[in-house]
Amino acid sequence: MPTNPLQTIMNPESIVYLGGSNSMLTMGTAQLINIVKGGYKGKIYPIHRKEKTVLGLTAYPDITSMDKPADLAVIVIPGKAIPGVLEECGKTGIRHAIIITAGYGEIGKKGKLLQQELIAIAQKYDIRFLGPNCIGIVNSAIGLNTTWFPSKYRAGHVGIISQSGSYVTQTLTYFEKLGMGISQAISVGNQADIDMVDCLAYLGEDAQTRSIALYIEGIKRPMAFLKTARKIIPQKAIIALYVGGTEAGARACSSHTGSMAGPNELYNGFFHQAGILRARNVTDLFDWSLALAQQPLPKGKNIAILTNSGGPGSSMADEANHCGLKIPLFSQDIQNKIKAITPFTAAYVNPVDITMNYDLELLYKKLPELILNLQTIDGLLFYGIFGTIHFQDKIALASDLSDIPLDLMEQMMEKACNEFIKLPEKFKKPILCACFSGREDNAVARIQDGGIPVYPTPGRAVRAMAALWEYKKIKEAIEKGQTALSEFESKKLLASYQVPITREILVKDGESLLKAAHQISYPVVLKACSPDIAHKTEKGLIRVDIRNDDEAKVAFNEIVVGMNGNEKTVLVQEMIKGKRELVAGLTRDSQFGPCVMFGLGGIFTEILKDISFRVSPLEKRDALEMMHEIKGHKILDSIRGMKAAELNILADILIALGKIGLENENIKEIDINPLILSAGKPVAVDALVVLET
């Protein structure tokens, strides 16, 4: 797999910069200042036709006059000069660029032609570039900010990919107020070359990035996007804001970065399919990304609310119910425990409301620990942060009257906060807080800096908690999700490619069981059938050679009892008699793609490993050769009075398997085992199709 070009673009060791000058009022200079002064430690080479130095750095008159190629060119010059510059990059060996300049695909036909020109030059020289019409990138790990907004961001774990530059620049102050740190942020602009999918793949691999926020106006390569997202979701959450789904939204987008927007509902389905959380607005996008980057996931949806003020507690409870969380009543026992340590005015049913009390020990430690320790509680919503800054305010107001021991209070508060922020890690449960004050409140700042999100309203904390739970469900679904087809489904697929399979019927109760058995006619085989059940034989979930209704009923009941937890579905199958068991299958190799396997089946597969392989697609000759290649190939001959195997049918099966592999990218493996020779004719008696996840 080729290296992702963003590796270099996001982590350049040297940058050549086109468009900066010594006039602070141009956009280009503003961006260069951020690179020069933002903490970036690499080399910076400004290009300027006249000036000897730019912002104190030695300037070069053009790219060709540089000694050696820089890792990255950042281009902010007027559009008409860009093709020439790109040519120079190509000739001097610069292979990565960010093109900030606008006026391309987004402005219509003429712009599209100019964009084609850039693409052609880039392809000629193997240059990979972001943009045009983008705002640049931020990589907090190396202090690199190529955007024009001052570098007032904090390093953290939210990665951002945006089709709007504003969401990685103007929002930086917004993030700061939320106490939200970012890992890397990428403005993709017109995606003439590098697109969202590349960025997604890159951030998926980035260790600093723990959640990924997307601002989307339209997706160019939906299938690749889907595949990339699915690969990332089990490790980190992806949250998307899509705005092209309404008529005016689409109109706004098409004149913006030239995206083709699809209907809202389509994207709903698409995001769902990918496992992406869809945010309805900017607020949710970043609120959720923050929580998902910083907090453990709740194991269930049972959340406790702890507050020292009724209104915000009630607001939390109300919102929790609206967004699918549960605020379960505490047991009488727990209620008594809480009652014993709280003031008489407190409520202790959940929400726990200690009513205007600021006992730091109680609020930040005793109660959260008691609550988070409960098996029945999966997370905590907290309202009750109140820093000593408010006492400072009081002193400022009444300095002539003050006798507040502020130092002591600050020490106590610091201690309380420091213990509080350890709780999510200690209990492996999420805490999200709300406070109407922001970071001007020193306790809010302390708690945010300690990794627990503090949101400006109760409702926003609750919706973020719901997002954690939503992601947890998605993860779970993927983890225990359908990674394989059931035997029944697997054989349906094989049959559709003309692979001979056993006659079989799926049944769920005694009545349909007997009906199916009669239809197939005794003797039959009964098998537990569920994609979640592997190793049926070992688990005693197969009964063979069943001769009559009574035997069938007994077998059915035994199998059903053994399938605890799974859907009670049983496969009634014709009994194939044949002593020669073969195996045929498909595996997907990272280099060769789908490969077909043939060999001795049944218990001999593991023991003898007598198998042969071919890369798909197979010609008939390949298939026949495979059969001859195995050591035990004599099994296919007419032996011991058994008919010779019908090699043509066997060959067709192997060719079909290769075809399935080529035509179904989502299939990772196929295992037909045993493939029994019944009077010389092969029949797939058991089969398993494993899916890509």
Residues 422-441 that bind its own copies (CB under 8 A): 435-438, 440-441
Count of residues in contact with its own copies, rule CB under 8 A: 103
Q: Which residues contact 109 (CB under 8 A, 6 or more apart)?
A: none
Residue 438 or 500: the one with the smaller Cβ distance to its own copies is: 438
Which string of x and - marks every residue 343-362 that binds its own copies (by CB under 8 A)?
Answer: -xx-x-xxx-x-xx------
- C-alpha torsion 460→463→468→472, nearest 10: 180
Question: Contact at 8 Å (CB) between 431 and 384?
Answer: no
CB of 216 to its own copies, least distance (A): 10
Q: Near its own copies by CB under 8 A, which window of 70-78, 274-282, 499-507, 684-692? A: 274-282
What is the per-residue DSSP string for 214-265?
EEES--S-HHHHHHHHHHHTTTSEEEEEE--SSHHHHHHHHTTT------HH
Residue 386 or 488: the one with the smaller Cβ distance to its own copies is: 386
Three-class SS state of 175: helix
Residues 158-217 that bind its own copies (CB under 8 A): 162-167, 170-174, 177, 215, 217
CB of 202 to its own copies, least distance (A): 21
Residues 30-69 that bind its own copies (CB under 8 A): 30, 33-34, 36-38, 55-56
Three-class SS state of 547: coil
CB count in 10 Å sphere of residue 570? 27
* Binds its own copies (CB under 8 A): choice among 7, 64, 123, 255: 255
> What string of H, E and C letters represents the secondary structure of 639-680?
CCCCCCCCHHHHHHHHHHHHHHHHHCCCEEEEEEEEEEEECC
Cα 370–chain centre separation: 33
On the question of a cis peptide bond just before residue 69, with omega within 30 degrees of 0, the verdict is no
CB of 62 to its own copies, least distance (A): 23
CB of 156 to its own copies, least distance (A): 17
Identify residue 168 by its one-letter amino acid code. V
CB of 192 to its own copies, least distance (A): 16
Maximum Cα–Cα distance for the chain, whole Å?
112
**Please, what is the Cα angle at 691 between 687 and 693, to 5 degrees?**
155
Residue 53 or 537: the one with the smaller Cβ distance to its own copies is: 53
Q: With binding defined as CB under 8 A, does residue 149 bind its own copies?
A: yes
Q: With binding defined as CB under 8 A, does residue 321 bind its own copies?
A: yes
CB of 310 to its own copies, least distance (A): 3
Q: With binding defined as CB under 8 A, does residue 324 bind its own copies?
A: no
Residue 163 or 673: the one with the smaller Cβ distance to its own copies is: 163
Residues 538-597 that bind its own copies (CB under 8 A): none
Sheet holding 303-307, edge to edge: 347-348, 352-353, 303-307, 379-383, 431-434, 454-455
Q: With binding defined as CB under 8 A, does residue 340 bind its own copies?
A: no
Residues 445-474 that bind its own copies (CB under 8 A): 456-460
Q: With binding defined as CB under 8 A, does residue 247 bind its own copies?
A: yes
Question: Contact at 8 Å (CB) between 653 and 682?
Answer: yes
Residues 96-135 that bind its own copies (CB under 8 A): 102-103, 106-107
Question: Contact at 8 Å (CB) between 16 and 94?
Answer: yes
Residue 469 or 488: the one with the smaller Cβ distance to its own copies is: 469
* Binds its own copies (CB under 8 A): choice among 88, 319, 470, 671: 319
Question: Contact at 8 Å (CB) between 66 and 16?
Answer: yes
Residue 25 or 340: the one with the smaller Cβ distance to its own copies is: 25
Query: By C-alpha distance, which of 561, 564, 582 is closest to 499?
Result: 582
Three-class SS state of 22: coil
Q: Near its own copies by CB under 8 A, which window of 23-31, 412-420, 495-503, 648-656? A: 23-31
Q: With binding defined as CB under 8 A, does residue 400 bind its own copies?
A: yes
Which string of x and - marks every residue 292-311 that binds its own copies (by CB under 8 A)?
Answer: -------------x---xxx
Residue 212 or 305: the one with the smaller Cβ distance to its own copies is: 305
